[in-house]
Amino acid sequence: MRYGKSKKILVTGGAGFLGSHLCERLVEQGHEVLCVDNFFTGTRRNIAHLMESKNFELLRHDVTHPLYVEADEIYNLACPASPVHYQFDPVQTTKTSVNGAINMLGLAKRLKAKVFQASTSEVYGDPEVHPQSESYWGRVNPIGFRSCYDEGKRCAETLFFDYRRQHNLEIKVVRIFNTYGPRMHPNDGRVVSNFVVQALRGQDITVYGEGLQTRAFCYVDDLIEGFIRLMATGAEITGPINIGNPGEFTIRELAETVIRLTGSRSKIVSRPLPPDDPKQRRPNIDLARQVLDWVPEVQLEEGLTKTIAYFDAFLSAEERRIDS
């Protein structure tokens, strides 16, 4: 689907898992895309197929530093999003969320450009309300191990809405729930990539606690469609809007499904729960249905089948490279 005329669009974090899929969609729609990434978690492999396009440009840059470019629209996706990566350098994670938001908002203000913030369901913390709707303010530990990400994203949302109120900036804010699909980092510590890689390697699949905590998993193509639909709305629609799949599964159910789909002989083993791990997470997507006419289309088994195929090919290529 095509939304409006061709634009010059800046995507920060554009070489990452979500960013690369977004860049791909925007290029397919005929837009000029400037992909900005510092390659902390993003990889050139994710965007290699776009490098030959005349509508795609890559710039290595860290959003904690100001950026002076021209664009009609800005998608701010830059920030490590998995606990393994965002806890590696928690101070830098907070800087990426907060200083990155300030720099992208300042750029949007100068350019009078529409600007999009990729926020997260982590702003709800370990929720007391289920499912989580956008009106829920959350239950977040401000000094815990996950706080660099949770509070960094909460502060970024604050900045976006203050720029809206103070400078009349056109903003769009999405709260992303668990998303999976091809181009996930194999070592990012997220549950889908962990389980798939462990199953394909025949290793034990590790669940935390009894694996009874729940998550809702959205396939990446559905998520990107939600992004683009929100960006195409008028200035009166700001968000935050939940984008995720409301289908809810226990972590143990996910592990059992991955084992079945891979045909693996992996066993499920338990490990202690990490601090502040949410017990349940599921989006209320009534607002996305109403405002964007958006609902996810890819169900879990279909999406997992595509994701397993990607990781199977990726791991096989890695083994060939090591053996050669």
Active site residues: 149
Q: How far apart are CA 27 and CA 11, in angstroms?
A: 11
Q: How far apart are CA 31 and CA 25, in angstroms?
A: 9
The three-state (H, E, C) secondary structure of 191-229, written as one string: HHHHHHHHHHCCCCEEEECCCCCEEECEEHHHHHHHHHH
The three-state (H, E, C) secondary structure of 241-300, written as one string: EEECCCCEEEHHHHHHHHHHHHCCCCCEEEECCCCCCCCCCCECCHHHHHHHCCCCCCCH
Classify 88 in phi/psi space as left (phi over 0), alpha (psi -120 to 50) or beta. Answer: alpha
DSSP state of 187: T
